[in-house]
Each structure stands twice: as structure tokens, then as C-alpha cells.
Amino acid sequence: MKIVTWNVNSLRARLPSILRYLDEYAPDVVLFQEIKMLTEMFPHDVFEERGYSTHAFGQKTYNGVAIIAKGNIEDPQDNVPTFEDVQARYTEAYIDGKVKVASVYVPNGEDLGTEKYAYKLRFLEAFESHLQDLLKEDVPLCIGGDFNIAPGDADVYDPKRWNEKRILCSPPEREAYQRLLSLGYIDALDVLNPSEDNTPRPEIFTWWDYRTRGWDRGHGLRIDHLLLNSQGHQLLKDGGVHRDIRGWERPSDHGPVWIKLDV
DNA sequence: ATGTCTCTGTTACAGAGA
């Protein structure tokens, strides 16, 4: 089973790329973020025509997450429980009763010290509590999404520039990320590509800023992740980032991150 | 490195968010 997480930065704008991606890479499950559309606007039919079942949790203009799967999407649940949020940032579901997947779009946080930064940290706190609850289930878990956190120096093209004073890299964000892992999850791409002495790993960067022409300059960060519980870890066979999609026409600023599970 | 892309509200751009 190939599982992909992909922040598409508007599913409507990206639909031609998404359909091409499905045709060329044939993923079994795709976890989308930033669909940027109302739930009722999700184009279920174009995915169903290609053999996918669907679940969307959207809102107007911003955010929004969705799941498509070759198997049956069962018992979908939207929102992080106990976290009051008007923004559509989380959904989870079982796939054929065999695995549970989640699609999360962690708040960006704008800049340190802002209200959006405080909201990001509150979101992560509630998310951590939920990930702990999920571990009670005896099922392989795959939590994928745009975490808007570069976990360490190996995950940025220039650690001197992307330092503790910058959003995506600040100690409170990185500590929150490590707490998620400490619950009992692995960062699949990190495990598959261990960093030698913290040197940057451009082959698994996932995001290149439009504004600084980051793709053209090779200025990327790794902020999209796939977390696995121990049952999921035992099934992990392979994984990577489909970076070439970032070079397609009208690309998202994020590339798809994929893993293969022996399911 | 205040730059680029996408959205909305309104119908050629400004403002928000990333």
C-alpha cells in the first residue's frame, strides 16, 4: 500500500497535476492538505472515476483536508477532538479496517510571538493529546500532513539562516514535534534517510517557497511528514519525496511525500 | 531576499495568507 501526503495549495488549481500524479504514480491512499474549498465543492466524481473513494473536510478559501483511497474509507472523523477550531485542519479514517490514516494541516504560525504562533502551539498541544489516544488502538497508524515544522538542521537547506529565531524552526515548535515522536511514533522519512552529522538532506525536502524562487535555487525545507506507530513501522518498506512534481507546470509549493507499507 | 501564488469580493485589482 502506497500512502502519500501532499499539500496541494488549492485542489481546484492543482486538479490537472493531481490527476496526472494519480495516473503516473498510482498511490493507494492520498492525504491532501490545503484543498481550499468548501466540503460540498470537493470533486468526488473525478476521483471515483479513477477508482478512489473519498472523504473531504473543507471550508471556504483556506485550509481544508481530504483523503482518497483505493480501499473503503471507514468511520471518518473531522477535527482534533476537544480542540475547538473553526479552521478545517484534521481528518482521520480507517482504510478497509486495516490501517488508520490521518491528514493534518498544522497552522503555519506566521512569525514568533504572533497570535497565529500561539494558535499553532495550542493546536500542537491538542494534537499531541489526540495522538496519544490513538495509540490505544491496536492498528497500524499513519499520520500524514503538512506539520509546518522542520525538525532539525538536516531538514533545511541553510541551518544558519533557518535558525531558532525563524518560524518552522523555533525551539517550541521543534520540541512539540519531538514530543509527538516521544509518544511512540517514528518519522518515516527520517528513519529511511538517517542524517550523517546533521548535514542537510535535500533529497527529502518537501517544500520550496514560491516567493524566494526556492525551487530554482535549491532552497528547500522538510516540513511535510508521515508518522507511524510501531505496528506501522513494522510494515514500512520504502519511502521518499516525489520532488520532480515541484518542477511541473503550475506546481504546488509542496511535493508529495510517499511511503510503502507491506499491507 | 516584501518576492510568488491562490483565494475572495467584485468584474481590474487590493488584501489576506502562506
pLDDT at site A174: 98
Q: Give CATH for domain A2-261.
A: 3.60.10.10
Is residue A81 scored above 90 in pLDDT?
Answer: yes
SS3 A39: helix
Is residue A29 scored above 90 in pLDDT?
Answer: yes
Pull the grid cell for residue A238: 520504502
Q: A57 near A73, Cβ under 8 Å?
A: no
Nearest protein residue to B7's C1' (by CA)?
A61
Q: Using the CA of A63, give the nucleotide whose C1' is nearest.
A: B17
pLDDT at site A128: 98
Q: Is residue A94 among the annotated active site residues?
A: no
Is residue A19 scored above 90 in pLDDT?
Answer: yes
Q: How confident is the model at residue A257 (pLDDT cuts 50, 70, 90)?
A: very high
pLDDT tens column, A144-192: 999 999 999 999 999 999 999 999 999 999 999 999 999 999 999 999 9
Is residue A231 scored above 90 in pLDDT?
Answer: yes
Determine the residue type at A200.
Answer: P
pLDDT at site A107: 98
Helix (H) / strand (E) element for A68: namely strand A65-69
pLDDT more than 90, % of chain A: 99
Q: Which residues of the protein have their beta carbon within 7 Å of strand B?
A: A 9-10, 12-14, 36-37, 60-62, 107-108, 110, 116, 210-213, 217, 250
Domain ranges of chain A: 2-261
pLDDT at site A48: 98
pLDDT at site A33: 98
Query: In chain A, count of helices (H) and strands (E)?
Result: 7, 14
pLDDT at site A129: 98
Determine the residue type at A17.
Answer: S
pLDDT at site A99: 98
Q: Is residue A262 among the annotated active site residues?
A: no
pLDDT at site A196: 86
Nearest to A143 by CA among A190, A87, A99, A196: A99
Q: Using the CA of A212, give the nucleotide whose C1' is nearest.
A: B3
Is residue A38 scored above 90 in pLDDT?
Answer: yes
Q: Which nucleotides of B are covered by protein (CB under 7 A)?
A: 1-8, 17-18
Q: Rounded CA gap, A260 and A263, in Å?
A: 9
**How far, in whole angstroms, is CA A148 from its chain's centroid?**
9
Q: Using the CA of A207, give the nucleotide whose C1' is nearest.
A: B18
Mean pLDDT of A202-212: 97
Q: A243 near A203, Cβ under 8 Å?
A: yes
Residue owning grid cell 541553510: A158
Q: Rounded CA gap, A221 and A156, in Å?
A: 5
Q: How confident is the model at residue A209 (pLDDT cuts 50, 70, 90)?
A: very high
